[in-house]
Amino acid sequence: MIPGVLVGHHHRVEPGWATGTTVVLVPAGAVGAVDGRGGAPGTRETDLLDPSNLVQQVHAVCLSGGSAYGLAAADGVMRWLSERSIGFQVGAQPHHVVPIVPGAVIFDLPMSEWGNRPDSSFGYAACEAASPEFALGCVGAGAGARVGSLKGGVGVASATVGAHQIGALAVVNAAGEVVDRASGLPWLPSLGTSAVALPQRKPDGLNTTIGVVAVDADLSKAECRRLAMAAQDGLARAVRPAHSMFDGDTVFALATGAVPLAEPRVFALDALCAAAAEVFAEAVVSGAREATSLNGVTAFRDL
């Protein structure tokens, strides 16, 4: 994605299991923010990201399956970071730290046998696997994802905006569709330009798209939040309907601060926000495009 930002997956895709965890790791710290639009969110440490609150930087974002149970995966991320003395300094010794790990979950419980869901070991293993290069599709938190009638997954996209690099990672598990059921055409042409016949929709309540948009710019928490808000516009372009009462759509923003934001800041920030919407929309498309059929749920590539 962005220099200084690593991504790791851990999942179980086997009989009785289709779920996992994805960690976006920033060991050097990054300014963080969040924007939530869905009516059924499952989140952790999002209040801390309010611009008026104390902590300015986060060290990882934990994205997981398992609904609210999956929030436990962040405990493993905290353990991995604390073993390396990475976190918010709260004492005199280098290891006196509290890692800041906000997170969000998708509802994928029907894809596994009851009781099979991510725990802290998933978060720890995802950190161990973190790298600048990583797989897409039915991996990590996208293992059990669905998007409307189709299989969902993890997708990414990136762009260059002036001197800045911006990237997005989406775990696509929306109640809405990436394809217009009336015409069979994808909402965004980058997913395809031919009409497809969607399979019958299963009303099993699978929902929520979560993700991260990251940039190398030097942003404040308030500016970061504008980036997360703009990324939600991209979600609404790629999935319709979006932000429903049955989705917990949550997007985090990370700014590593490696490149100063050009003056006047407001115009440079606006350009980044426009790009955030574009890359998040394309990350959603990527998640649908890279997914493979699983557990009787058809992938777009197989239509």
Task: Please report, for the domain that includes residue 280, its CATH number.
Answer: 3.60.70.12
Task: Tell me, yes or no, whether 197 lies in a domain.
Answer: yes
* Residue 79 pLDDT > 70: yes
Task: Tell me, yes or no, whether 33 lies in a domain.
Answer: yes
Task: Tell me, yes or no, whether 302 lies in a domain.
Answer: no
Q: How confident is the model at residue 58 (pLDDT cuts 50, 70, 90)?
A: very high
Residue type, 8: G
Mean per-residue pLDDT, 120-145: 98
Number of domains into which the chain is organized:
1
Among 187, 210, 205, CA closest to 300: 187
Task: Tell me, yes or no, whether 189 lies in a domain.
Answer: yes
The DSSP annotation for 50-86 comes to STTSS--EEEEEEEESSGGGGGGHHHHHHHHHHHTT-
Q: How confident is the model at residue 201 (pLDDT cuts 50, 70, 90)?
A: confident
Mean per-residue pLDDT, 213-226: 98
pLDDT tens across 153-185, in order? 999 999 999 999 999 999 999 999 999 999 999
| Mean pLDDT of the chain, nearest integer | 96
Collapse the DSSP code of 24 into the 3-class scheme (helix H, G, I; strand E, B; otherwise coil) and give the result: strand
Q: What is the pTM of this model?
A: 0.97
Task: Tell me, yes or no, whether 55 lies in a domain.
Answer: yes
Task: Tell me, yes or no, whether 212 lies in a domain.
Answer: yes
Task: Tell me, yes or no, whether 301 lies in a domain.
Answer: no
Mean per-residue pLDDT, 25-32: 98
* Residue 1 pLDDT > 90: no
Task: Tell me, yes or no, whether 303 lies in a domain.
Answer: no
Domain of 130, in residue numbers: 6-295
